[in-house]
A and B are shown apart, each in its own frame.
Chain A
Amino acid sequence: MTNSPLLALFKRDLLIAFRNRGELLNPLMFFLMVASLFPLAVTPDPKFLGLIAAGIIWVGALLATLLSLDLMFKSDYEDGSLEQMLLQPQPALLFVMVKTALHWMVAGVPLTIVAPLLGVMLALPEGGFAPLILSLLLGTPTLSLLGSIGAGLTVGLKKGGMLMPLLILPLYIPVLIFAASSVQAGIDGNSYTGHLAFLGAYLALMLVLAPLASSAALKISIAR
């Protein structure tokens, strides 16, 4: 009973995402396009592409996530539903967690699903596929969580979309480093469980801290 506004928000946002599913395709298309630029810009040589494939896919995933972050709270801020959320008796961070989980479902999960396709296009060696998918599964939720902080801080700004990468990208670096090198370890035939363990630990930490920070950020942004 007490949680029903949370559930209602989840259902509402899922429905909105479904109605606007065309919009969700945009970051995904962006992801595909960025990745296809590299063979054109550098070389189509599979040997070389195989070396940088993991890096390209992960950098592409970071950028595509950034692109979709702007949507996280923006429309709720503009139409007043964010105020309604923050005025519920339940703590704001629960609503932020629902929004973040939804963002991951509509941004991170599709990226994870499409990534193997890009792996094929970029001649990713066979050993890299499993760690690529696993690192995306463990890494993209962290991207959504850290991103929710940036989205919360910039939600009231007209040019927030320009500012967000500046705030968030440096925070994405640990995820990028460990995720991309897990793929490299897989390609080299080495164990990558340590890398994934780091990604998991970082995710756990951010699961605790990020909603706190982003609900604080939202309250600041809304206190005009």
Chain B
Amino acid sequence: MWSALKRLYHQLGSPKWFYELTSRWSPWFLWIGSALMLVGIVWGLAFAPADYLQGNSFRIIYIHVPAALLSQSAYVMMAVAGLVGLVWKMKISFVVGKTIAPIGAGLAVMALLTGAIWGKPTWGTWWVWDARLTSMLILLFLYMGVIAIYNAIENEEMANKAAAVLALVGSINIPIIKYSVEWWNTLHQPATITLTKKPTMAPEMFIPLVLTIIGFYCWFAVWVFARTRNEILWRERRTKWVQRILSTGANH
């Protein structure tokens, strides 16, 4: 009887709880995130002063920096979700990890593309082996490895666990990789213009950046919630509570 209760908790309780919780949270994240993005982008693009060195081209930081930042923390989130899944055997945690992987990879691509677009007027070339861009590229490789594992292993449970192990190993290595790439960069390319390393950034430039960063995090949360909720509905499609939601059509 006790084990049946425990099973009930593992199988049904947790996903349902997550589903209902995120039902309430998602709209908030969506609206707050959108408002922050709107204010941040308009402020950053139209009202913030031009950079004295880079002119208007610096304005791409309002996309580039949030994407880069979020891509890095998303990897750590993915690893933590994997750890929780492995240690406490929470299935929902694996779903979150699996959801984050492609989003994080997309953000890394976005950071690399905006970095290249930014690099063209700044350095006169699309690609420079700048420490941050190189780290970003390696982060993208790490994401690709995790995604490749998901694709290669057919058994879902195995794939989730294997990807979690890889994400954990990767997240332990990320600081080491970052450190060695930065060290390598100073060795080979002293004193070039680094894209975002501004010791003093004017508040008019900085505040909209903070707004867009928070906006990106909110949107990210909404996206992860939405995809996780979809996955939950699919996995739990035979349970009563999902059938009830599907039959009434009330999926918010």
Contacts and interface: CB of A to CB of B under 8 A. Distances in A.
Direct contact of A and B (CB under 8 A): yes
A181 B43 CA distance: 45
Nearest to B185: A177
For the complex, would chain A's binding face be called helix, strand, loop or mixed by DSSP majority?
A: helix
- Interface residues of B toward A: which range? 20 to 34
Contacts of B158: 156, 220-221, 223-224
Contacts of A153: 149, 162, 165-166
Interface in A182-209: 198, 202, 209
A163 interface: yes
- Interface residues of A toward B: which range? 20 to 34
Interface in B176-212: 176-177, 179-181, 183-184, 187
A216 B180 contact: no
Contacts of B148: 163, 166-167
Contacts of B86: 216
Contact of B172 (A163, A177, A209): A209
Contacts of A173: 138, 177, 180-181
A5 interface: no
Interface in A130-176: 146, 149, 153-154, 156-157, 159-160, 163, 166-167, 169-171, 173-174
Nearest to B159: A220
Interface string B64-87: 000000000000000000000010
Interface stretch (B31-39, B99-107, B139-147): B139-147
B181 to A, nearest CB: 7
B169 interface: yes
A170 to B, nearest CB: 4
5 contacts: A154-B152, A156-B153, A171-B177, A202-B176, A217-B162
Interface of A: 146, 149, 153-154, 156-157, 159-160, 163, 166-167, 169-171, 173-174, 177-178, 181, 198, 202, 209-210, 213, 216-217, 220-221, 223-224
